[in-house]
Amino acid sequence: MTTAIKSTRTRRAPTPALKTVVTGLGIAAPTGLGPTQFWRATLRGKPGISSITRFDTSGYWAKIGGEVPHFEADRHLEGKLLPQTDHMTRLALVGTDWALRGAGVRPSDIPDREMATITAATAGGYEFGQRELQKLWHHGPDYVSTYQSFAWFYAVNTGQISIRHGTRGPGAVLVSEQAGGLDAIGYARRQLRHGSRLALTGGVDSSLCPWAWVAHQVSGRLSRRNDPARAYLPFDRDANGYVVGEGGAILVLETEESVLERPNGRIYGEIAGYASTFDAREPRPVTGLQRAAQLALDDAGVDPADVDVVFADALGVPEQDAAEAKAIGQLFGPYGVPVTAPKTATGRLFAGGASLDVASALLSIYWSAIPPTINVSDPLPEYELDLVLGQARHLDVRVALVLARGRGGFNSAVVVRDYR
Amino acid sequence: MSRRAVITGVGVVAPGAIGKKDYWKLLAEGRTATRVITQFDASPYRSRLAAEVDFDAAREGLSPQEIRRLDRAAQFALVAAREALVDTGVEWDQLDPRRIGISLGTAVGCTTSLEREFIVGSDTGRRWEVDQEYTVPHLYDYFTPSSIAAEVAWLIGAEGPAAVVSTGCTSGIDSVGHAAELIAEGTADVMITGGTEAPLSPITVVCFDAIRATSTRNDDAATACRPFDRTRDGLVLGEGAAILVLEELEHALRRGAQIYGEIGGFSSRCNAYHMTGLHPEGKDMSDAIDAAMQHAGVGPTEIDYINAHGSGTKQNDVHETAAFKLSLGSSAYNTPVSGFKSMIGHSLGAIGSLEIVGCLLPMSEGLIPPTANLHEADPACDLDYVPLVARESVVDTVLTVGSGFGGFQSAMVLKNVEGAQQ
């Protein structure tokens, strides 16, 4: 089936002169640290959701989540950084180190003003923030950390990453709830088209502290089940909300020219298309996700028939699943494209989730395999989706579409393509 | 032919002035709105000052539901957005909503509501495991600030690209710069953009206390923020919002719109130096200025006015003075510079947008607002800072800059559009 479609490949638009390619992946996920460990676990469908250990959940109805295991910040970061960073910033800094190492890039070899730093955020360093709020209100103003002014604000990861690597080019932070991980990549790609050679981008998020937890609980979207295998079930008859996780991915984006200039530059793939839209409230119809996907495909010069896999947003909230299934159906037809949601193994990673999906899409291209959606066993037939369930599907993947949505109406889509 | 982004509508919620006319009047008169904090008991804190907005949400047209549901920062954004939308003269239902986008700046989002709810849920910080029984239904919307951009998008039914740009104290410039880029590249024809901030709550005040960035001139609140002055001792926090409607130039001309000016060039950079410190040589801000001027196609002699960050901290004012000299060379000495934070305080993620709207006054009326409270310049600050009194001067091209925690350095060039209706 896939092969037949591939033979009719057409390109609608000429490829833009400046290709943006991905050369490094820094991954911190509940299913693994680094692309190798993460990908092995993801292909096998290894679950990463379990009981929360970071704080005592006995007072909360939600008790499970996706924690990044075996992460010892002091093994990776200098001591001076520890008192000034939230857990999510530590994950982001270490992820960035790994991404650069994997890319074989030394920032000191590239003019510092030609390196951009663009991240996504949803919650900032809330665990840090909660601790300082508690100090302020329980002990008094003199007990608040001098680092509070920046450790919990939304811009912290871009600031800390840029300082660590001396990236003095464009800097930004995008917040569009769970769509932000794609918006950051879109923003970063724009910087490469405007003269930067390299961009550190993506999102890493963590809000596993009591103060964030009660906020998640009132979002109305969290699963009320505490069985890790039966809680987050997007597109399933039993869909009942999602599970919160932590982590994400930092990507090294480079211009094609920049990579080709240095020896041994590995290219995972190309960020070929990006678009974002918004769904204003009813009575307007909710069509923004489909439009974002179509615009991203147009931007990439790719026909829907050329897409080999869709990494779905897969919220796990029934009406949102229905809306996404409809969007995918209208673009690709019934059962028209393999659809997967490896985030079923990690929980939803907020600003980190969509960036991690882009990493997964690139790894799918690189390893010619689509990872499975785990735990989902009874997908609703009326969605007419070709969900990749149970086990990985091994096939040639050249083009992947990644979808993401943010609460309130944000939709974003990224098209990644093999590089040749 | 490249697409140009022009400003066709503005709305303002500022300390001492709600609405664009009152705001421009305040700036023109050089009035200061800094005072001792009234929103909460600030007596335990080192700095007890702020530029507060006298804001009656009901009188500004917000519904009881909006008042109960929305953080003050979101309320400011809605009030300013409504003014801006009307100001354009656009019949909004005639436009294609898919070509209208949102780019909103905020540094700390809904911190005030988050802190208020924390105090309740944690029993005034007594318990780490905050009580789930005391959480309000809107807590999640306070938790992630994209909720504010969503509110503004719903207001108008925008269906184009939408996001919050949260780069700390440069958010208000960066959000507008991002909006202009989306218009330039053809992704949108109209962008609702700007910044909002309502950070005046104990945790924010304490953050700045802890690093001694804020003024302690608590007995002299009205003259506490003294950018470039020898006696300056720190910034004064502020709050507010400014919303701008950006439109693609041809789109605006076709409907005979009033055009306030054009976003000529923009650049935002990381200094990769320190999360709160600034390199005294000002090289990073200068890089941003150079890039913005190049983008706008203007040289140092064409800048008629520099709207400074002018936070009034010891290090900032020296830092940016150095940056202006690096970028403008000898022209820096002939170019008037002034800082609005002397009057309206530092509203973090909103101030950049408030300053952009403020710059439209000299561009349309030829009147440069002054740097208030500047009686004796620091010898290390030796430019022309337009002290105390507004100055008449023909201004067609403005440079506005921002600098903030995380190392962000931003610059924007605003230009008058020749032959446009104002």
Cα separation, B223 vs B202, whole angstroms = 22
Inspect the interface and report whether the beta carbons of B181 and A190 lie closer than 8 Å.
yes
pLDDT at position A13: 42
Closest chain A C-alpha to B224 CA, distance in angstroms: 21
Looking at residue B247, what is its pLDDT?
98
CB distance B125–A288 less than 8 Å? no
Per-residue pLDDT at B84 exceeds 60: yes
pLDDT, tens only, B28-50: 999 999 999 999 999 999 999 99
Confidence category of residue A228, pLDDT binned at 50, 70, 90: very high
Can you tell me the distance from the alpha carbon of B73 to that of B79, in angstroms, rounded to the nearest whole number? 10
User: Catalytic amino acids of B?
Assistant: 169, 309, 346
**According to the model, what pLDDT value does residue A14 have?**
41
From the list B131, B163, B185, the residue facing A175 with the nearest CB is B163
Query: Nearest-CA distance from B200 to chain A in Å?
Result: 14
The yes-or-no verdict on residue A1 having pLDDT over 80 is no
Work out the number of other CB atoms within 10 angstroms of the CB of residue A324. Answer: 29
Query: Is A149's CB within 8 Å of B121's CB?
Result: no
pLDDT at B422: 57
On chain B, the residues whose CB falls within 8 A of the CB of A113 are: 269, 287
Inform me whether the pLDDT recorded for A6 exceeds 70: no
H/E run at residue A91: helix A87-103
The CA distance from A344 to A363, in Å, is: 17
Q: Which residues of A touch B160 (CB under 8 A)?
A: 277-278
Q: Smallest CA–CA separation between B285 and chain A, in Å?
A: 11
Shortest Cα distance from A213 to chain B (angstroms)? 9
List chain B residues with CB under 8 Å of A413: none
Q: What spatial distance separates the first Cα and last Cα of chain B, rounded to whole Å?
A: 24
- H or E element in which residue B329 lies: none
Q: Given A155, A219, A275, which is nearest B166 (Cβ)?
A: A155
Contact A149 B211 (CB under 8 A): yes
Q: A281 with A410: CB under 8 angstroms? A: no
pLDDT classification of B421: cutoffs 50, 70, 90: low
- Please state the rounded mean pLDDT for residues B265-276: 94
CB contact under 8 A, A159 and B107: no
**Mean pLDDT of all residues belonging to chain B:** 97
Is the pLDDT reported for residue A8 higher than 50?
no
pLDDT band at A11 (very low <50, low <70, confident <90, very high): very low
pLDDT digits (tens, 9 = 90+) for B328-355: 999 999 999 999 999 999 999 999 999 9
Work out the pLDDT band at A5, boundaries 50, 70, 90. Answer: very low
Query: Per the CB < 8 Å rule, is A407 touching B147?
Result: yes
pLDDT at A119 over 80: yes
pLDDT tens digits, one per residue of A64-89: 999 999 999 999 999 999 999 999 99
Asked if B115 lies within 8 A of A288 by C-beta distance, the reply is no
- Give the gap in angstroms from C-alpha B365 to the nearest C-alpha of chain A: 33
Taking residues B168-184, report their average pLDDT: 98
Which residues of chain B does A211 touch, with a Cβ-Cβ cutoff of 8 Å? 118, 121-122, 130
pLDDT of residue B66: 96
Q: Are B162 and A278 an interchain contact pair (Cβ–Cβ within 8 Å)?
A: yes
Q: Backbone phi, then psi, for B157, in 5-degree steps?
A: 75, 30
Average model confidence (pLDDT) across chain A: 94
Yes or no, beta carbons of B159 and A279 under 8 Å apart: yes
Give yes or no for residue A252 having a pLDDT over 50. yes
pLDDT tens track for A137-184: 999 999 999 999 999 999 999 999 999 999 999 999 999 999 999 999
Tell me which chain A residues have a C-beta less than 8 angstroms from the C-beta of B44.
140-141
A 296-355 near B (Cβ less than 8 A) = 350
Half-sphere exposure of B181 (CA within 13 A, CB side): 21
Pick from B110, B120, B166, B289 the residue to mutate for testing the A interface (most A CBs within 10 Å): B166
Rounded to a whole number of angstroms, the distance from the CA of A137 to the nearest CA of chain B is 5
pLDDT reported for residue B279 = 87
In angstroms, how far is CA A279 from the centroid of its own chain? 21
B146 to A410: CB separation less than 8 angstroms, yes or no: yes
Predicted confidence (pLDDT) at residue B416 exceeds the cutoff of 90: yes
pLDDT band of residue A209 (cuts 50, 70, 90) is very high
- The radius of gyration of chain B's CA atoms, rounded to the nearest angstrom, is 20
For residue A157, count CB atoms less than 10 angstroms from its CB and return exposed for 0-12, middle for 13-18, buried for 19 or more.
buried
**Residues A373-394, mean pLDDT to the nearest whole number:** 98
* CA closest to A407 among chain B residues: B147
Degrees, nearest 5: CA angle B367-B414-B314: 75
Q: Report the C-alpha gap between B422 and B419 in whole angstroms.
A: 9
Option in B124, B138, B167 nearest A172 (CB): B167
Collapsing DSSP states into helix, strand and coil, what is residue A411? strand
Question: Minimal Cα distance from A85: which residue of B?
Answer: B275
Q: Indicate the pLDDT class of residue A262, thresholds 50, 70 and 90.
A: confident
CB contact under 8 A, B162 and A409: yes
How far, in Å, CA of A200 to CA of B213, rounded?
A: 30
Residues of chain B contacting A176 with CB distance shorter than 8 Å: 146, 149, 162-164
* Distance of residue B22 Cα from the nearest chain A Cα, in angstroms: 32
Inter-chain CB proximity B203 and A132 less than 8 Å: yes
> How many whole angstroms separate alpha carbon A49 and alpha carbon B12?
46
The answer to whether residue A366 neighbours chain B at the CB level (below 8 Å) is: no
Encode pLDDT of A286-342 as tens digits. 899 999 999 999 999 999 999 999 999 999 999 999 999 999 999 999 999 999 999
CB-CB neighbors (< 8 A) of B147 in chain A: 177, 407-408
**What is the predicted pLDDT for the residue at A420?**
81
* pLDDT at residue A187 greater than cutoff 60: yes
Say if the Cβ atoms of B167 and A278 lie within 8 Å. no
Q: Show which of residues 274-293 on chain A sit within 8 Å of chain B, judged by CB atoms.
A: 275-281, 284, 288, 291
Tell me the pLDDT band of B250, cut-offs 50, 70 and 90.
Answer: very high
For the stretch B121-141, pLDDT in tens is: 999 999 999 999 999 999 999
**pLDDT-above-70 percentage for chain B:** 99
Peptide bond into A30 cis (omega under 30): no
CB pair distance less than 8 Å for A175 and B166? yes
Scanning A145-164 for CB atoms below 8 A from B yields 145-150, 153-156, 158-160, 162-163
Closest alpha carbon within chain A to B210: A146
Closest CA of chain A from B152, distance in Å: 10
Chain B residues with CB-CB distance to A277 below 8 A = 98, 159-162
Contact B157 A280 (CB under 8 A): yes
Whole-angstrom distance, CA of residue B339 vs CA of residue B266: 19
Taking CA–CA distances from B187, the nearest residue in chain A reads A275
For residue B338 the two structure tokens come to: 């002034």
pLDDT for A18:
80
The answer, yes or no, to whether residue A282 has pLDDT greater than 90, is no
List the single residue in B with minimal CA-CA distance to A141.
Answer: B206
Amino acid at B326: L
pLDDT on residue A284: 76
Instruction: Annotate B139-178 with b (16+ C-beta within 10 A) or e (fewer).
Output: bbbbbbbbbbbbbbbbbbbbbbbbbbbbbbbbbbbbbbbb
Taking the model in full, what pTM does it have? 0.97
Share of chain A above pLDDT 90, in %: 92
